[in-house]
């Protein structure tokens, strides 16, 4: 039996790497953006947060809005200037997630209890 039910865009993102671009004052964030739904996800904004090792948020960066086809994923990257207070010799934790999307779209992170403060 084939399921004829159509599902909205269901999106999430996962960080795959981040680093300072050598010889510059730029950080690059690499992530994968997923859409498990049956419709295109529109104006999806991914947010990356930098935390200290005690999980205190320090910096927030957002990629520009983009669309992603149904039932697909895409490797993405964006660059930002390194904040003046960021120490390159210090360790940090990075977390990227979908911040928002428009239309018939579900942000899967919003469905996980306990992640509201990230």
For the segment 37-89, what is each residue's pLDDT rounded down to a tens digit?
999 999 999 999 999 999 999 999 999 999 999 999 999 999 999 999 898 78
Pick the closest to residue 13 from 88, 56, 72, 80 (CA basis).
72
pLDDT given for residue 112 in this prediction: 75
pLDDT given for residue 88 in this prediction: 77
The answer to whether position 44 is within a domain reads yes
Place 4 in a pLDDT band, splitting at 50, 70 and 90.
Answer: low
Q: Which residue has the higher pLDDT, 4 or 49?
A: 49
9-20 and 105-107 beta bridge pairing: parallel
**Residue span of the structural domain in which 56 resides:** 10-111
pLDDT given for residue 115 in this prediction: 54
Whether the model pTM is above 0.75? yes
For the chain, what is the domain count? 1
**What is the 3-state secondary structure of 10-57?**
EEEEEEEEEEECCCCCEEEEEEEEEECCCCCEEEEEEEEEEECCCCCE
CATH classification of the domain holding 79: 2.60.40.10
């Amino acid at each position: 039996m084939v399921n004829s039910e159509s599902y909205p865009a269901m999106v999430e993102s996962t960080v795959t790497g981040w680093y300072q671009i050598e010889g510059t004052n730029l950080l690059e964030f690499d992530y994968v953006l997923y859409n498990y739904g049956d419709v295109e996800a529109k104006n999806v904004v991914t947010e990356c947060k930098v935390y200290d090792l005690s999980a205190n948020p320090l910096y927030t960066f957002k990629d520009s809005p983009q669309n992603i086809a149904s039932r697909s994923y895409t490797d993405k990257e964006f660059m930002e200037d390194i904040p003046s207070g960021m120490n390159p010799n210090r360790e940090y934790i990075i977390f990227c997630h979908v911040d928002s999307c428009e239309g018939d779209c579900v942000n899967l992170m919003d469905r996980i209890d306990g992640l509201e403060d990230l």
